[in-house]
Amino acid sequence: MAVARKLAVAVWHVLMGHVIGALEPIERLRAKLFKLATEIGIPAIKAAGFESKDSFIERKLYLLKSYP
């Protein structure tokens, strides 16, 4: 029953346009992006056109927050 409720709440958020609310809180996303950036490594991040790990994280968060 709890899984069905979580799914229903997530679908409601998506239908109402609250995509970030349906995904995860910003701080959890930031932590996951930090872990991803660490695993990718600085050379790969710079090869992708980002100046640093922080600029990678901030740009990805900006994209997630601006998603309709």
The answer to whether residue 7 is domain-embedded is: no
pLDDT digits (tens, 9 = 90+) for 7-62: 888 788 777 766 655 456 788 888 989 999 999 999 999 999 999 999 999 998 88
The answer to whether residue 19 is domain-embedded is: no
The answer to whether residue 6 is domain-embedded is: no
pTM, two decimals, is: 0.61
Amino acid of residue 19: V
pLDDT digits (tens, 9 = 90+) for 28-43: 888 989 999 999 999 9
Query: What is the rounded distance in angstroms from the CA atom of residue 30 to the CA atom of residue 51?
Result: 17
Look up the domain containing 41 and give its range: 24-68
- Cβ atoms < 10 Å from Cβ of 45: 20
- The count of structural domains within the chain is 1
